[in-house]
Amino acid sequence: MREAVTNAIVHKDYSSGIPIQISVYEDKIIIWNAGRLPDILPIERLLEKHPSIPYNPLIATAFFRAGYIEAWGRGIEKIRQECKKAKTLEPHIAYDFGGLMVTFRARVPDTNSGQTTQKTTQKILAILKDNPKISRVELTHLLGNITDKGVKYHLNKLKQENRIRRVGPDKGGYWEIVEQ
């Protein structure tokens, strides 16, 4: 979380006058800051090794000298490593509304150990609606009380019932909920 907030401060477009926004919900925390990614650094590349292109080099230098930034260009990598170490979901990172949005998610609590198929289906639909780009592995992790095979079964059942559809490839595509 500290790294995400630090990134928001260092990469914010201060000319916009829009403040950094942190929204806290029961099941997630969203950090958003105004600013645009350099044309040579699309969102997909942020998840890979990439060069440092600070939006505000003077602020980045000050944070580096103060010890808040260990090395430029490693913020997203550090966030992903810490999430893996904590055995939690990696945040969803998107370029939305003219800025970068980082969404940290909590696990969906298991409110009933004798959970019915209908409750599992409703949880899956709610998660897909909130995060259509979620992978099956992330979905399994988020549900926490069902195996990957179980999630695959429910997704296939929802597709057969024409309640959801997959748009695009497994990697890079998204889930669409079919209105009924």
Model confidence at 31, pLDDT cuts 50, 70, 90, reads: very high
CATH number at residue 28: 3.30.565.60
Please report whether residue 162 resides in a domain.
yes
pLDDT tens by residue, 99-158: 889 999 876 544 444 445 678 888 899 899 888 999 888 888 888 778 888 888 999 999
Are 65 and 134 found together in one domain?
no
Domain span at 149: 117-177
Rounded to an integer, what distance in angstroms lies between the CA atom of residue 37 and that of residue 69?
19
Give burial (CB, 10 Å; 0-12/13-18/19+) of 46. middle
pLDDT tens by residue, 78-99: 888 888 887 788 888 888 788 8
